[in-house]
Amino acid sequence: MSQRQHLPADERRERTVEAVIELCGREEPATLTTGRIARRMGVTQGALFRHFASKEAIWEAAVTWIAERVMARVAAAAEGVEDPLAALEAMFLAHVAFIAEHPGVPRLLMGQLQHPRPTAAGRLVRELLERYRRRLLGLLEEAGRRGQLRAGLDLEAAATQFIGCVQGLVLQSLIADDVAGIVDRAPAAFELYRHGIRADAGGDA
């Protein structure tokens, strides 16, 4: 049972983050203990603290890991898509696909948003969402310039509701305990969103 221990530090940290995210797919983040994280990696609990100064540091690393990957995935999906509304759709689907691949992610991020004030990990989550929103706003403004959006549309609200849309799917999957099905429900959700923002022109069923 002891294939490869003694990993270099970077790799051990990476494995730790992966273990945390994987465990968040099944357990409540708040009750996740360093002992369970360690056991999952096949390592003793004390070993974790050679690589992380505290448990909080583990959460920080996990949030950073997620932020990098989700932003990269979403950026890659929108890359080279000329039409801004199509880019939004691509981002939406990429975001949802990422969640489906990592079911622990929503719970982890929500868990960090739960403690109200000033944890470092919580701050990172807020920053991630802020960057995300700004990117959405940019695309929405461009779509507006091209006349693709309803007159009088509140762009701020539209950006917020894009995230709310994903959030609704996630919530649904938390209720139904069916994270995989989120991908199937995503297109209908985005269609609904698009109808909410786009100009009333040439719409069909």
Partner DNA sequence: CTAGATAGTGACTGATTACTATCTTTCGAG
Partner DNA sequence: CTCGAAAGATAGTAATCAGTCACTATCTAG
User: Which residues of this protein are in contact with its own copies, per CB under 8 A?
Assistant: 26-31, 107, 110-111, 113-116, 126, 129-130, 150-154, 156-158, 160-161, 163-169, 171-172, 174-175, 177, 185, 188-189, 191-197, 200, 203, 205
Q: What angle do CA 22, 13, 130 make, to 5 degrees?
A: 70
- 6: contact with DNA by CB under 7 A: yes
Of 11 and 191, nearer to its own copies (C-beta) is: 191
**What DSSP assignment string belongs to the chain?**
--S-----HHHHHHHHHHHHHHHHTTS-GGG--HHHHHHHHTS-HHHHTTT-SSHHHHHHHHHHHHHHHHHHHHHHHHTT--SHHHHHHHHHHHHHHHHHH-THHHHHHHHHHHS-S--HHHHHHHHHHHHHHHHHHHHHHHHHHTT-B-TT--HHHHHHHHHHHHHHHHHHHHHHT-STTHHHHHHHHHHHHHHHHB-SSS---
- 102: contact with DNA by CB under 7 A: no
Given 20, 21, 51, 162, the residue binding DNA (CB under 7 A): 51
- Judged by beta carbon distances under 5 to 8 A according to partner kind, the member of its own copies, DNA, none in contact with residue 116 is its own copies
- 8: contact with DNA by CB under 7 A: yes
Given 18, 23, 26, 49, the residue binding DNA (CB under 7 A): 49
- 114: contact with DNA by CB under 7 A: no
- Judged by beta carbon distances under 5 to 8 A according to partner kind, the member of its own copies, DNA, none in contact with residue 40 is none
- Judged by beta carbon distances under 5 to 8 A according to partner kind, the member of its own copies, DNA, none in contact with residue 180 is none
- 117: contact with DNA by CB under 7 A: no
| Contact range with DNA by CB under 7 A, out of 48-56, 90-98, 139-147, 181-189 | 48-56
